[in-house]
Structure 1
């Protein structure tokens, strides 16, 4: 078998999500909890305008999910504690030598490093549950990894972060060679491009320690979209410039240096919890569209849509307010997972 993770721009069969359930991520007050339900619902409805969406729903949330999601989003009952589907759900792969074959990589998930606050044991089963539902071959992996910790171009290149895959709370015995070998086996990546770090807030107590999907993505082979912070008072002002200098020296699986397109951050530097990591990089590419993060900054949101539509020709960018998502530790890309279309 020769598995390959397609680029996100490849045509999708559907997008998978998980509906929020009671727990620390949801919020302490009724208003905070309702905000979370509404945010996940808004993303699901936006994606459903372009392609089918299937939502895993905990038994305790069946009534609320049915009421909020309506008939436009398919719902499947399954245990849910964490609901960042990108990270604990399957990473789908195909086998070019076997047309129609669909695989589902089941990374080992331990709540982004088994933090005291993370509740992850139910959702760690989602890859297996979904693989069975869609008839995919399960590709088991002992590597602790999350879907938000990788980006691919579909042609052999994978973006990784030293502070994620080499995090001692995740993989205490791993080194670059072991990680790269597992990326080759599971997703067909022949060239790893390592970022030295992620954005500043992502290293807070509730962060992922450097997920790449709020920093950089490969819009098309050889072309990278990169987060840029323009406020000198934000530490990411220096971080993003250092990352740009580093990534401009890297090459992809075809030996090309990347053409780097900047995605400037919105003007806000802080929220109620401190320095923000608001990033337009954390978008989801769908069939015919791009679901873009919005931050209540009309000028910056519009500029991001223009950049995204130019980077993904023929797709319409639609903005969904992502502030409630980022306040809980992620964005639109983090709560979604695409299933590629394969010939049956």
Structure 2
């Protein structure tokens, strides 16, 4: 059996998210908790315009979630530590027979970070897979969905500081990692980046997720985050990325068409250099939900995205609250591709119901 992870732009069955439930994600005050809940709800509300959305919610949070979420959003109840579905959730795959699979990576809190907890989140991959009616594809690789990007045609973008992190996968080589991506998502060609954005590489980051750096809107095309201001340390980082991507090739040996997406004009948020990125968006059926930052560069960046995802309506959601907690719109979502066999497996819909039910 050969599994393949479709491109994010391929048709979806639905979008998965997780409800913020505690810790640093909710913050220390009632106001901070409200801001977090409102931000996650805003992403779900924007996404459900285009396709079904299912939210994993702790049973004890069902009532508070109902006060924020659009009534069209479905719910699966499960214990949670955090709310970054892209990273703790499964990566959905399909096979030539139309079956739906879900790669259940090992999740260990972004490399056993001292501030993270993952007792419950480490089980969410299997929980979501079973709720979706997918066959679980177990993996021993410590990995997160935000740590790679694929074009669905054999190419995968990876980061040495993530997949080769000694606190994630001690002793593994690039060849070991590539072999596992070939087995689980059908990737035949890897493009390796050395590191991630500056802030994302610090204590409270992921150590280098690629979904802040590059996205693949269509075969052979790369959207790349570029910092044009030399005052920001990502000025040099993004220069390295551009040089590397220009020298790299797709799985079929062709050069990329590279579209530069400017970083926000804002350089600092009062705590540190920002890692705000317009790259951290999610493509949906006929739509795109993208980050905005009340920033002078918003309009230009959203226009670039609209051109790259021609034919999809772009909805912008203010992502500053998400980024203040460690991620963006792509980080809080995970797409489930449309598989011809899914209805044979689940009969109708995943084990979800409207949150108001």
TM over 0.5: yes
Instruction: Tell me the equivalent position of 1:83.
Output: 83
User: Does residue 311 of structure 1 match 2:300?
Assistant: no
Structure 1 residue 175: Cα displacement: 0.7
In the TM superposition, residue 229 of structure 1 has moved relative to its aligned partner by: 0.7
Counterpart of 1:33 in structure 2 is: 33
Would the aligned equivalents of 1:11 and 1:341 in 2 still touch at CA under 8 Å? yes
Q: 1:178 aligns with which of 152, 168, 176?
A: 176
Number of the residue aligned with 2:17: 17
Residue number in structure 2 paired with 1:337: 334
1:159 touches 1:195 (CA, 8 Å); kept in 2? yes
Give, in angstroms, the shift of residue 274 of structure 1. 0.9
In structure 1, what is the equivalent of residue 164 of structure 2?
Answer: 166
Residue 304 of structure 1 deviates from its aligned partner by 1.5
1:272 Cα deviation from its structure 2 partner: 2.4
In the aligned structure 2, how far is the partner of 1:222 from the partner of 1:306? 20
Q: How does 1:182-331 map to 2 (within 5 A)?
A: 182-297=180-295, 299-331=296-328
Shift of 1:242: 1.3
What is the alpha-carbon root mean square deviation over aligned residues? 0.8
Matches within 5 A, 1:90-109: 90-96=90-96, 98=97, 100-109=98-107
TM-score normalised by L of structure 1: 0.98
SS at 2:67 equivalent: helix
Alignment pair present for 1:66 and 2:69 = no
Q: CA deviation at 1:219?
A: 1.4
Provide, for residues 210-266 of structure 1, a one-character-per-residue CA deviation record: whole Å limited to 9, x for no partner: 000000111111110000111110010111011101110001111011111001011
Gaps of 5+ in 1: none
Looking at both structures, which has the greater relative contact order when contacts are Cα pairs under 8 Å and sequence separation is at least 6?
2
TM (norm. structure 2) is 0.94
Please identify runs of 4+ aligned residues in structure 1 that moved more than 3 A.
Answer: none
SS at match of 2:283: strand
Q: Is the 8 A contact 2:195 2:201 kept in 1?
A: no
What is the 5 A alignment of 1:52-63? 52-63=52-63
SS at match of 2:68: helix
CA–CA distance in structure 2, aligned partners of residues 271 and 245 of structure 1? 28
Tell me if the contact between 2:22 and 2:82 (Cα under 8 Å) persists in the aligned partners.
Answer: no
- Provide the C-alpha distance between the structure 1 equivalents of 2:138 and 2:76, rounded to a whole number of angstroms: 23
Would the aligned equivalents of 1:21 and 1:60 in 2 still touch at CA under 8 Å?
A: no
SS in 2 for 1:168: coil
